[in-house]
Amino acid sequence: MSRATKSAASKSPASKAPASKPRASKAAASKPRAAKAAVSKPRAAKAAAPENARTVLAELLEPGPVPAPVAGFRWASLAAGIKKRGGLDLALLVADQPVPTAAVFTRSLVKAAPVLVAAERVASGLAQAVLVNAGCANAATGRPGLAAARTSSGAVATALGIDASLVLPMSTGVIGVLLPAEKIVAHAAPLAEAATADGLEGFSRAIMTTDRGPKRAEAEARIGGKRVRVVGVAKGAGMIHPDMATTLACVVTDARVSAPLLRRALRTATDATFNALTVDGDTSTNDTIVAMASGAAGNASPRAGDAGERALVAALTQVLGALGRLIVADGEGAEHLVTVRVEGAPNDAGAKAIARAIATSSLVKTALYGKDPNWGRVLAAAGRAGVAFDPTRASLDVGEVRIVTRGLAVGGDTDARAHAVMLRPEYTLTLRLGAGRGAASYLTCDFGTEYVRINADYRS
């Protein structure tokens, strides 16, 4: 994620669209185990209304144990002087050898230099390292920006003793500022030397910008008769809106899998998770997710459509869903994590479009911040989504409280009861439109004064 001006889990906010939601394997061996506790998922929201919901969200983001190393990968981090405020700002993920790699990138027409370079290099299906800097997006920097991305990643490649085409660059920070490649070049050798199997903690902190804490998740699966692990790390708190990935993220697995199958699995998992969440409706110029597979588990390589592929998709979806949930919970200034659920739409795609319209509405999001059950804003947003439905059949629930039925207010004490639900740090808005089979969910958060404060003086 990068920012033009100023720029923390377990359940995936997945749409029910067939293309987005992996089918459960009938074989027990193909079903991944639940993501491990603490860092992999936030604790359940408290039932009672807290005095400070933002404090509760901060507790959800509190990091726990760092996932154990994944065979075949090492991590490194250090301070290179790129962030104005100092601290860790340069990170490296390196595989023991070139490995099958897949990536998804922002679909914004304004793509940062590292996105262009990484997309060009990952097209081969092989990579060995990911270089990430925080504090400078290196976006809208023209040819000098491309040169800086190539120079800096080239220096790290030389330090690792590998070809530059095997290093994928990522950047996050202020847009329009040229990457100080000389700082990365000067730190390339010590960065490469610092890479260790247990370096994920430092990596997860070095890539942060406005994040309140690191974001990590893990899952396990049985593929080809072997236990495989999937571990992911991400950053993001603002400039979050789906159009590929909405953040920077790296996912590693010890599964043996081909690059084409890994690419398809990553896209499916991304659509079901990162492409179904929003913080502020702004898509970054730098959005990137990279997935790498070492093959160290020694499993039989899965094939298209088999139980192994379904297990891999499920594990990736679990990890990305956990990371996405942490990102929205860490939304800049956010006090409430809200799932927008739409049911009874003509189809899943229509349901997702309506959920997206509601989740990204500034009027809805400010009402969430004010704990105001302003149902008119929800219906108005649904009505402009471009999906046909009969408003006179619509109902709306805030948590367990029905406030609209047949398109009209229920009345009585429902507003007061809905307001009590909205004091919670986490809840669901459920809009039912009729008898259609389409359904989808979208993860969002509220818009408040803290978001404005953070973004009003980001470059100051």
The yes-or-no answer on residue 246 being catalytic is yes
DSSP string, 114-155: HHHHHHHHHTTSEEEEEEEEESB---S-HHHHHHHHHHHHHH
Look up residue 74 and give its amino acid.
Answer: R
- Residue in 54, 338, 323 with CA at minimum distance from that of residue 207: 323
Residue appearing with tokens 């699966």: 221
Alpha-carbon distance of 156 to 81, in angstroms, equals 17
Q: Is the dihedral of CA 313, 316, 321, 322 positive or negative?
A: positive
Angle between helical axes of 307-329 and 53-60 (0-180°, round to 10): 140
Alpha-carbon distance of 74 to 241, in angstroms, equals 30
Alpha-carbon distance of 390 to 371, in angstroms, equals 27
Beta carbons of 132 and 234 less than 8 angstroms apart: no
| Beta-carbon contacts of residue 363 (< 8 Å; ≥ 6 apart) | 374, 377, 380, 381
- Phi-psi category of residue 399: left, alpha or beta, with phi > 0 → left and psi -120 to 50 → alpha: left
Adjacent-strand bridge partners of 292 = 101, 252
Look up residue 189 and give its amino acid.
Answer: A
- Residue in 361, 378, 390, 362 with CA at minimum distance from that of residue 430: 378
Which of the following is catalytic: 172, 210, 246, 253? 246
Alpha-carbon distance of 290 to 104, in angstroms, equals 7
| Beta-carbon contacts of residue 348 (< 8 Å; ≥ 6 apart) | 15, 16, 17, 18, 20, 438, 439, 440
Q: What is the 3-state secondary structure of 157-210?
A: HHHHCCCHHHEEEEEECECCCCCCHHHHHHHHHHHHHCCECCCHHHHHHHCCCC
Alpha-carbon distance of 375 to 260, in angstroms, equals 45
Alpha-carbon distance of 34 to 89, in angstroms, equals 32
Residue numbers annotated as active site: 246
